[in-house]
Amino acid sequence: MDSKNVALGIREVPKMHKWITLSIQHLFAMFGATILVPFLTGLSPSVALISSGLGTLAYLIITKGRIPAYLGSSFAFIAPVIAASTAAGVPGAMIGSFLAGLVYGVVAMLIGIFGMDWLIKLLPPVVVGPVIIVIGLGLATTAIDMAMYVPGIDKEVYSMTHFSVALVTLAITILASVFFKGFFSLIPILVGIVGGYSFALYQGIVDTAKIKAEWAAITAADSIGAFFTAIFEMPDFVVPFVDYSPLSVFSWEIVLIMVPVALVTITEHIGDQMVLSKVVGRNFLKEPGLNRSILGDGTATIIASFLGGPPNTTYGENIGVLAITRVFSVFVIGGAAVFALLFGFIGMSTAVIGSIPSAVMGGVSILLFGIIASSGLRMLIDNQVDLGEKRNLIIASVILVIGIGGAFIQISDQLQIAGMALSAIIGVFLNLILPGKEKGHGNGNMFKAETETNKNSNDPHAA
């Protein structure tokens, strides 16, 4: 990387006005996806913002301020969080998130001791790619239901008004993705939500009662104290040992729903770190180390589980912002995290987010969930996985049908292995027992090639 193209280096501190502007810009790129996950899972968007901010700050500390990465709500955990919440309420989902975070910690420890080859052998592209496709397509009915039906009423009640709002939102998001340039090309989700919300207002399906109430409280404030009381609001945290007893909520069903997904997201995390290393021009797998990066990711998810937020993960949007702006400063990332914290405590932001119609989120989700599925297909293509090989074709086919079809194993009245978790487990098992394991990595062998490149590369920017 040519250092002359860097606007701000990793450890550079920008001037205050520039710092604020760049941090808010960075948060906006993450904002749409971060609030979409809690919206779909029934969790609090304000808590998601707060846990995202705290998780990012924890990540920056654990990685010694050397990796400019922002962490937000994970899409891979949408279906598992919904399933865990159905089985044991929101506390059940939080226990599952905590356990998933512990998996990150264990994997980080093993990578620190044994390296990362064992993980790549356990989860080659022929397994991870189809599981990612399952994540996207498994959520397809959720997106369509949100787009087509009136919320709170049986889904058989079709609404052309809601569907038109969803289609307009989808169209705006697509146009923003294709035609916008520069930074705006990185926030098509946010642009789509704003555009769809505006059209929903015109269609009269936005409930603005809470927004009006918040505004009335602010304008009625007759002192500084009353003003701040009207502005700030305590989010709906779900805290262990305060709101629930973890031991009374724990079940093996939650373990089987949530933990297998962590292995897939960890593999995605490795891919993100490789791409980020290329963009920034540093070997993050070596310094501060992949084990620290994975530990930071897991810690962010554990923090979210203590507050009632969705599991966190590193964001592809983050890499896109860094690539275009060439602003690599961890202080800018930290500033974005602080602003996320502030927004989470502002009552007006909570009211606005809460008023977004489900049809708007449904329209955005149609594209996003399709992109998730397509990214799984891209993993197979980029790694040149040959589906002409019988073992690869068998593994991919079984994962897709079991995962998308909704197969499950009923172990007991309260213990079930279903959907994505079952498909991931069976995929790993098939990969381990079928001969020709090297074929599952494909001819591209992306992870190995990237690792070797990083090992042999000079790191002129290392601090």
Q: How far is CA 85 from CA 68, 88, 415, in A?
A: 33, 5, 14
**What does the pLDDT read at residue 428?**
92
pLDDT band at residue 454 using 50, 70 and 90 as cut-offs: very low
- Residues 383, 97: Cα–Cα separation, whole Å: 30
Among 18-32, 42-56, 335-349, 383-397, the least confident range: 18-32
pLDDT band at residue 456 using 50, 70 and 90 as cut-offs: very low
Return all residues near 146 (Cβ < 8 A) that are at least 6 apart. 40, 166, 358, 359, 361, 362, 365
- Residues 146, 366: Cα–Cα separation, whole Å: 10
Between 337 and 36, name the one with better pLDDT: 337
- Residues 256, 253: Cα–Cα separation, whole Å: 5
When pLDDT is averaged across residues 377-401 and rounded to a whole number, the result is 93
- Picking from 331, 332, 338, 325, the residue whose alpha carbon sits closest to that of residue 280 is 325
User: Which range, 97-101, 360-364, 435-439, has the best average confidence (pLDDT)?
Assistant: 97-101
Among 50-54, 164-168, 316-320, 356-360, the least confident range: 316-320
When pLDDT is averaged across residues 201-228 and rounded to a whole number, the result is 89
pLDDT band at residue 451 using 50, 70 and 90 as cut-offs: very low
Between 117 and 197, name the one with better pLDDT: 197
Distance of CA 242 to the CA centre of its chain: 27
pLDDT band at residue 459 using 50, 70 and 90 as cut-offs: very low
Cβ atoms of 406 and 418 within 8 Å: the answer is: yes
pLDDT band at residue 455 using 50, 70 and 90 as cut-offs: very low
Residue indicated by tokens 């073992």: 391
When pLDDT is averaged across residues 147-175 and rounded to a whole number, the result is 89
When pLDDT is averaged across residues 111-134 and rounded to a whole number, the result is 89
Question: Which phi and psi angles does 233 have, rounded to 5°?
Answer: -145, 140
When pLDDT is averaged across residues 342-364 and rounded to a whole number, the result is 91
Residue indicated by tokens 């983050």: 318
pLDDT band at residue 6 using 50, 70 and 90 as cut-offs: confident
Among 110-119, 120-129, 149-158, 212-221, the least confident range: 149-158
When pLDDT is averaged across residues 225-231 and rounded to a whole number, the result is 86
Cβ atoms of 315 and 82 within 8 Å: the answer is: no
Residue indicated by tokens 């990185």: 186
